[in-house]
Amino acid sequence: MKKTFISFLFFLFFTSHSYACALLQVPIGTPVSVAKGTFDFLDSYSSQTYGKNTSARFSNYAIDYCENSPLENADLEVIVYDSKIAGINLISSDNEFKKEIYEFTKYNITDPGEEFSNENYLGYKDISIGGLLIFYTRLELRDEIVEVLEITNNQMSDYTIGEEIIDVTG
Protein backbone atom coordinates (compact mmCIF):
# COMPACT_ATOMS: atom_id res chain seq x y z
CA MET A 1 0.00 0.00 0.00
CA LYS A 2 2.78 2.40 0.96
CA LYS A 3 4.64 1.62 -2.28
CA THR A 4 1.49 2.34 -4.33
CA PHE A 5 1.03 5.68 -2.56
CA ILE A 6 4.65 6.70 -3.20
CA SER A 7 4.33 5.66 -6.86
CA PHE A 8 1.21 7.77 -7.17
CA LEU A 9 2.97 10.82 -5.65
CA PHE A 10 5.93 10.32 -7.99
CA PHE A 11 3.57 10.19 -10.98
CA LEU A 12 1.69 13.27 -9.78
CA PHE A 13 4.76 15.45 -9.27
CA PHE A 14 6.97 14.39 -12.15
CA THR A 15 4.63 14.10 -15.11
CA SER A 16 3.39 16.74 -17.52
CA HIS A 17 2.90 20.30 -16.27
CA SER A 18 -0.60 20.29 -17.73
CA TYR A 19 -1.95 18.29 -14.79
CA ALA A 20 -1.73 21.46 -12.69
CA CYS A 21 -3.26 23.54 -15.46
CA ALA A 22 -7.04 23.46 -15.15
CA LEU A 23 -7.62 25.29 -18.43
CA LEU A 24 -6.21 22.30 -20.34
CA GLN A 25 -8.44 19.85 -18.51
CA VAL A 26 -11.73 21.07 -20.01
CA PRO A 27 -12.37 19.38 -23.38
CA ILE A 28 -13.86 21.34 -26.26
CA GLY A 29 -17.56 20.48 -26.44
CA THR A 30 -17.93 20.15 -22.66
CA PRO A 31 -21.33 21.41 -21.43
CA VAL A 32 -21.15 24.71 -19.57
CA SER A 33 -22.83 23.06 -16.59
CA VAL A 34 -19.73 20.85 -16.22
CA ALA A 35 -17.10 23.42 -17.30
CA LYS A 36 -18.19 25.97 -14.70
CA GLY A 37 -16.74 23.60 -12.11
CA THR A 38 -13.36 24.71 -13.49
CA PHE A 39 -14.22 28.13 -14.92
CA ASP A 40 -16.32 29.69 -12.17
CA PHE A 41 -16.88 32.83 -14.26
CA LEU A 42 -19.20 30.78 -16.51
CA ASP A 43 -21.84 30.92 -13.76
CA SER A 44 -23.25 33.98 -15.49
CA TYR A 45 -23.84 32.12 -18.78
CA SER A 46 -27.48 31.71 -19.77
CA SER A 47 -28.49 29.90 -22.95
CA GLN A 48 -31.66 32.04 -23.14
CA THR A 49 -29.54 35.21 -23.31
CA TYR A 50 -27.37 34.12 -26.24
CA GLY A 51 -29.62 31.72 -28.14
CA LYS A 52 -28.50 29.36 -30.93
CA ASN A 53 -26.90 31.90 -33.28
CA THR A 54 -24.49 33.68 -30.96
CA SER A 55 -21.33 32.71 -29.11
CA ALA A 56 -20.36 34.29 -25.78
CA ARG A 57 -16.68 35.09 -25.11
CA PHE A 58 -15.69 35.23 -21.45
CA SER A 59 -12.31 36.65 -20.39
CA ASN A 60 -10.29 36.20 -17.24
CA TYR A 61 -6.70 36.03 -16.01
CA ALA A 62 -5.02 32.87 -17.31
CA ILE A 63 -2.78 32.47 -14.27
CA ASP A 64 -5.87 31.88 -12.11
CA TYR A 65 -6.53 28.68 -14.07
CA CYS A 66 -2.95 27.53 -14.57
CA GLU A 67 -0.88 28.04 -11.44
CA ASN A 68 2.90 27.80 -11.61
CA SER A 69 2.89 28.53 -15.32
CA PRO A 70 4.49 31.38 -17.31
CA LEU A 71 1.02 32.89 -17.96
CA GLU A 72 1.31 35.72 -15.43
CA ASN A 73 0.35 38.41 -17.93
CA ALA A 74 -1.86 36.40 -20.28
CA ASP A 75 -5.60 36.56 -20.71
CA LEU A 76 -7.80 33.50 -20.94
CA GLU A 77 -10.80 33.52 -23.26
CA VAL A 78 -13.43 30.82 -23.08
CA ILE A 79 -15.93 30.84 -25.93
CA VAL A 80 -19.31 29.23 -25.39
CA TYR A 81 -21.77 28.25 -28.12
CA ASP A 82 -25.07 26.44 -27.57
CA SER A 83 -24.19 25.80 -23.90
CA LYS A 84 -20.90 24.06 -24.82
CA ILE A 85 -17.26 25.10 -24.72
CA ALA A 86 -16.42 26.01 -28.32
CA GLY A 87 -12.91 27.36 -27.82
CA ILE A 88 -10.20 28.25 -25.34
CA ASN A 89 -7.76 31.02 -26.21
CA LEU A 90 -4.69 32.43 -24.47
CA ILE A 91 -3.57 35.94 -25.41
CA SER A 92 -0.58 37.97 -24.31
CA SER A 93 0.34 41.43 -25.58
CA ASP A 94 2.78 42.63 -22.91
CA ASN A 95 6.08 43.52 -24.61
CA GLU A 96 7.91 42.81 -21.35
CA PHE A 97 6.85 39.14 -21.63
CA LYS A 98 7.13 38.34 -25.33
CA LYS A 99 7.34 34.56 -25.06
CA GLU A 100 5.02 33.52 -22.24
CA ILE A 101 2.46 31.81 -24.51
CA TYR A 102 5.30 30.21 -26.48
CA GLU A 103 6.84 28.79 -23.30
CA PHE A 104 3.47 27.55 -22.08
CA THR A 105 2.71 25.90 -25.42
CA LYS A 106 6.16 24.33 -25.69
CA TYR A 107 6.03 22.69 -22.26
CA ASN A 108 2.32 21.86 -21.99
CA ILE A 109 1.24 20.98 -25.54
CA THR A 110 4.08 20.77 -28.07
CA ASP A 111 6.94 22.90 -29.37
CA PRO A 112 5.61 25.33 -32.01
CA GLY A 113 9.02 25.29 -33.67
CA GLU A 114 12.55 26.55 -33.26
CA GLU A 115 11.82 29.74 -35.23
CA PHE A 116 9.52 30.93 -32.41
CA SER A 117 12.36 30.78 -29.87
CA ASN A 118 13.41 34.10 -31.45
CA GLU A 119 11.10 36.54 -29.66
CA ASN A 120 10.88 38.81 -32.71
CA TYR A 121 9.83 36.09 -35.15
CA LEU A 122 6.27 36.59 -36.44
CA GLY A 123 4.08 33.86 -37.88
CA TYR A 124 1.69 31.06 -37.02
CA LYS A 125 1.90 27.30 -36.64
CA ASP A 126 -0.75 24.63 -36.82
CA ILE A 127 0.06 22.28 -33.93
CA SER A 128 -3.22 20.37 -33.99
CA ILE A 129 -3.32 17.08 -32.12
CA GLY A 130 -5.90 14.36 -32.75
CA GLY A 131 -9.34 15.95 -33.01
CA LEU A 132 -8.19 19.27 -31.56
CA LEU A 133 -7.40 22.26 -33.76
CA ILE A 134 -4.56 24.14 -32.06
CA PHE A 135 -2.94 27.24 -33.53
CA TYR A 136 -0.04 29.23 -32.09
CA THR A 137 0.36 32.75 -33.52
CA ARG A 138 2.76 35.62 -32.93
CA LEU A 139 1.91 38.87 -34.69
CA GLU A 140 2.56 42.58 -34.46
CA LEU A 141 -0.38 44.83 -33.67
CA ARG A 142 0.01 48.55 -33.01
CA ASP A 143 3.77 48.18 -32.57
CA GLU A 144 3.33 45.43 -29.96
CA ILE A 145 4.02 41.72 -30.22
CA VAL A 146 0.88 39.68 -29.54
CA GLU A 147 0.93 35.94 -28.86
CA VAL A 148 -2.21 33.84 -29.27
CA LEU A 149 -2.94 30.18 -28.62
CA GLU A 150 -6.29 28.99 -29.97
CA ILE A 151 -7.79 25.61 -29.09
CA THR A 152 -11.02 24.30 -30.64
CA ASN A 153 -12.19 21.36 -32.76
CA ASN A 154 -13.76 20.86 -36.21
CA GLN A 155 -17.32 20.85 -34.86
CA MET A 156 -16.92 24.10 -32.90
CA SER A 157 -14.37 26.12 -34.88
CA ASP A 158 -16.99 28.09 -36.85
CA TYR A 159 -18.38 29.43 -33.57
CA THR A 160 -15.06 30.85 -32.31
CA ILE A 161 -14.61 33.53 -34.98
CA GLY A 162 -16.78 36.04 -36.77
CA GLU A 163 -19.43 38.61 -36.08
CA GLU A 164 -21.70 36.43 -33.97
CA ILE A 165 -19.52 36.58 -30.85
CA ILE A 166 -20.46 38.74 -27.89
CA ASP A 167 -17.86 39.73 -25.29
CA VAL A 168 -19.23 39.10 -21.82
CA THR A 169 -18.08 41.40 -19.03
CA GLY A 170 -18.54 41.15 -15.31
CA–CA separation, 93 and 141 (whole Å): 9
Whether residue 132 is contained in a domain is answered as yes
Query: How high is the pLDDT of residue 68?
Result: 86
pLDDT band per the 50, 70, 90 thresholds, residue 20: low
pLDDT band per the 50, 70, 90 thresholds, residue 134: very high
Whether residue 4 is contained in a domain is answered as no
**Do residues 95 and 145 touch, judged by C-beta distance below 8 A?**
yes
Read off φ and ψ for residue 7, nearest 5 degrees: -60, -40
Query: How high is the pLDDT of residue 78?
Result: 98
Query: How high is the pLDDT of residue 170?
Result: 58
The answer to whether residue 153 scores a pLDDT higher than 50 is yes
CA torsion sign, 54 to 30 to 108 to 130? negative
Q: For residue range 50-100, list pLDDT tens digits in order.
A: 888 899 999 999 999 998 888 999 999 999 999 999 999 999 997 777 799
Mean pLDDT of the chain: 87
Whether residue 2 is contained in a domain is answered as no
Residues paired with 92 in a beta bridge: 147
Single pTM value for the model: 0.85
Whether residue 69 is contained in a domain is answered as yes
Q: For residue 51, what is the DSSP state?
A: T
Q: For residue range 91-120, list pLDDT tens digits in order.
A: 999 777 779 999 999 999 999 999 999 988
Q: For residue range 31-51, list pLDDT tens digits in order.
A: 999 999 999 999 999 888 888
Q: How many domains does the chain have?
A: 1
Whether residue 6 is contained in a domain is answered as no
The answer to whether residue 10 scores a pLDDT higher than 90 is no
The answer to whether residue 4 scores a pLDDT higher than 70 is no
Residues paired with 55 in a beta bridge: 81, 165
Whether residue 127 is contained in a domain is answered as yes
For residue 145, give the nearest of 74, 87, 79 by alpha carbon: 74
Whether residue 10 is contained in a domain is answered as no
CA–CA separation, 149 and 124 (whole Å): 10
CA–CA separation, 10 and 22 (whole Å): 20
The answer to whether residue 137 scores a pLDDT higher than 90 is yes
The answer to whether residue 1 scores a pLDDT higher than 50 is no
**Do residues 63 and 74 touch, judged by C-beta distance below 8 A?**
yes
* Mean pLDDT on 141-159: 94
Residue-by-residue DSSP string for 53-67: T-EEEEEEEGGGGST
Whether residue 8 is contained in a domain is answered as no
Query: Alpha helices, DSSP H only, in 19-156?
Result: 32-35, 47-50, 100-108
Supply the range of the domain harboring residue 120: 16-168
* Mean pLDDT on 11-33: 71
Q: For residue 157, what is the DSSP state?
A: G
